[in-house]
Amino acid sequence: MKPVNKSVLEEAAQKLMFEMDEKQYDTLLEEFHTILSQLELIGEIPGVDEVEPMTFPFDVTNSFLREDVTQKPLDRDVALKNASDVVDGQIRLPKVVG
Amino acid sequence: MSYLDLNIYEIHQALLDGKVTPLELAKEALSRAKADTNNSFEYISENEALEAVEALKNKDKNNLMWGIPFVIKDNFSTKDIPTTASSNILNGYTPVFSSEVYVRLINAGGIPIGKTTLDELAMGGSGMTGHKGFTYNPYDPSHKHMVGGSSCGSAAATSSNIAPLGIGSDTGDSVRKPASHAGLVGFKPTWGRISRFGLFPFATSLDHVAYFTRSVEDSAITLGLLAGRDDKDMTSSFKPVENYFKNLKPCISGVKVAIIKEILDSISDQYIKETYLKTVDELKAKGAIINYVSMDIRLCKAIFPTYFIISCAEATSNNANLDGIKFGPRYEGSDYQEVMTKARTNGFSELIRRRFILGSYSLLSENQKDVFLRAQKCRRLIVNRVNEILKDNDVIYLPAAPTTAPLFNASADKLSDEYLIADNYLAIGNFAGLPSLTLPLGKKEGLPFGGNITGRAFDEQMVLNFSLGLQEITGLKNLSSKEGK
């Protein structure tokens, strides 16, 4: 398991695309201390690594296909309604090249 | 007395008899919503409510939701109505479609009074982390006690009789715990029983639609309307929907009731425990078969960390679309990464960012096996044991929470049994997707507390019928914070 230190947390924040200040990292490191102690409780459970991971409450099998009916998609104006910087029907972003 | 203070089925009769009109009810509900002092609302939908009244067709004696005011948590999409999930990253966002739950309520003639506050993005249990600040417990006019969360606004609004129905969502206990703190019935049906289309996802494998009412009867009525297959939600079930209200009858004699000893033992409040045990004695006297069962204490202690790891990991992924570009406040930057980073730094509170980092840490390739996958394996062991208990028993019955509503400045030892087990065990209902209902058991120093009943998957009728029997024992029906004021 990757050790928890500030640089690991900074790397995670960068990947998640937000910033944190020094005080917030300190709080997070304290929080991790508690969480890692709680995690040890899971590791102590007999047989925990011998079962399959559970991804949903119970198996759901969908064995049907929807009818192939043509539907009208969202109008472009509606789809762009919540974007705050729209030019010529497209969302404007900073230039990538020149 | 106002008709708005009654239960749904009583208001329905008054509407049928012409004693009150939908417009009078809506105006009264809107007036109470505007006078709310508990920070219950993100948005009061006055125009939408009046339009809904205007659009009502002839009354129908078989449609109990006709003309009934309701409130809905602000993480349900509502077309053309601002929806923020109490997060700054969604300020100004107006959905272009409505959630299935909202559509069903409106189509049935329900009157939308407002969108209610929540812990930011539904990730919290205190009602303290929404962008509009704390939501207060209506039973405490001094505003020192929380109502709990994350469905805090719907709990506060239902408890203070603004509406007889408050829609919420429940990923760990986000309806059932605040129901305990607010003297309400809080019901989370089976995973897949109610469509989640249009509900902002937090942790997809644990998220459920759930709701608050002031009686078991109203809970049965609401389920009858909301339950059922929806092709827009691939996880919604094809199982037939029963007439839960018509089939509702108190059922205690012969019911096998499991009490998990380790969970009960982790509660230190003697008054709550004794009140609960008195109801157990009464259940026994009425013919219930009480079975004290055991769950490995190590499994019990692992409930909270298992929940925390899985929910944070899924949330990290589910909220990756919140980029400040397609919707939400836009920030300038020299490239799109800077635009996104500014939006996410300013848009998410510190707590949410910390949770995302934890989720991301548990998903790192070096950690997945020891953290995320191990939590998912632990979930399976917990679910196996709970389902084993329910093989031999019809329901599990326990106190819903170890305390009444905590003070805002209360702190908990996060490694204590009371925190790890009693304060967080309700998540087993989410792990296993089981129907689970909280109802009032009593009050301590003016603050309510509840009990919780969990049943087998899709056996909502048993949970409701047993709960109705228990409601008759306690006599605690249609509680309201208004009575104490």
Residue B360 pLDDT more than 60? yes
Total domain count, chain B: 1
Whether the complex's predicted ipTM is more than 0.90 is answered with yes
Residue B484 pLDDT more than 60? no
Separation CA B227–CA B240 (nearest Å): 9
Residue B150, preceding peptide bond in cis (omega within 30° of 0): yes
Neighboring chain B residues of A28 at a CB cutoff of 8 Å: 354, 357
Which residues, 6 or more positions from B324, have their beta carbon under 8 angstroms from its beta carbon? Answer: B89, B330, B331, B339, B340, B342, B343, B344, B347
CB contact under 8 Å between B371 and A55, yes or no, is no
pLDDT of residue B485: 43
Residue A63 pLDDT more than 60? yes
Helix, strand, coil content of chain A in percent (nearest 5): 40, 5, 55
Q: How far is B205 from chain A (nearest CA, A)?
A: 5
Residue B140 pLDDT more than 70? yes
Would you please indicate which residues of B are annotated as catalytic (active-site) residues? 73, 150, 174
CB contact under 8 Å between B357 and A35, yes or no, is no
Rounded to 5°, the CA angle B336-B342-B348 comes to 125
Domain that holds residue B389: 1-485
Band of residue B414 on the pLDDT scale cut at 50, 70, 90? confident
Interface of A with B in 9-68 (CB under 8 A): 9, 12-13, 15-20, 24, 27-28, 31-32, 34-35, 37-39, 41-49, 51-58, 60, 62, 66
pLDDT of residue B483: 67
Residue A29 pLDDT more than 50? yes
Closest by CA to B454, choosing from B378, B376, B398, is B398
Interface mutation target, options A21, A24, A82, chain B, most CBs of B under 10 Å: A82
pLDDT of residue B244: 98
Neighboring chain A residues of B329 at a CB cutoff of 8 Å: 84
CB contact under 8 Å between A16 and B309, yes or no, is no
Q: Which of B94, B415, B431 sits opposite A81 (nearest CB)?
A: B94
CB contact under 8 Å between A53 and B296, yes or no, is no
**Conformation bin of residue B475: beta by default, left when phi > 0, alpha when psi is -120 to 50:** left
Q: What percent of chain B has pLDDT over 90?
A: 97
Average pLDDT in the B102-111 region?
98
Which residues, 6 or more positions from A61, have their beta carbon under 8 angstroms from its beta carbon? Answer: none
B300-346 confidence digits (pLDDT tens): 999 999 999 999 999 999 999 999 999 999 999 999 999 999 999 99
Band of residue A61 on the pLDDT scale cut at 50, 70, 90? confident
Q: How far is A28 from chain B (nearest CA, A)?
A: 6
Q: How far is B366 from chain A (nearest CA, A)?
A: 6
Residue B130 pLDDT more than 70? yes
User: What is the CA B406 to chain-centroid distance, rounded?
Assistant: 18
Residue B61 pLDDT more than 80? yes
Which helix (H) or strand (E) is B71 found in, with range?
strand B69-73
Q: Which residue of A has its CA nearest to B430?
A: A57
pLDDT of residue A98: 66
Interface mutation target, options B312, B354, B380, chain A, most CBs of A under 10 Å: B354
Rounded to 5°, the CA angle A54-A60-A63 comes to 145
The two tokens of residue A38 are 């709680």
pLDDT of residue B367: 94
**Residue with the larger pLDDT of the pair B366 and A1:** B366
Q: What percent of chain A has pLDDT over 90?
A: 68
Average pLDDT in the B175-190 region?
98
Band of residue A2 on the pLDDT scale cut at 50, 70, 90? confident
Separation CA B35–CA B18 (nearest Å): 27
Band of residue B348 on the pLDDT scale cut at 50, 70, 90? very high
Q: What percent of chain B has pLDDT over 70?
A: 99
Contact B467, B396 (CB under 8 A): no
Residue B127 pLDDT more than 50? yes
The two tokens of residue B402 are 């170890």
Q: How far is A70 from chain B (nearest CA, A)?
A: 15
Interface mutation target, options B79, B190, B377, B431, chain A, most CBs of A under 10 Å: B377
Band of residue A64 on the pLDDT scale cut at 50, 70, 90? confident
CATH number, domain with residue B112: 3.90.1300.10
Band of residue B261 on the pLDDT scale cut at 50, 70, 90? very high
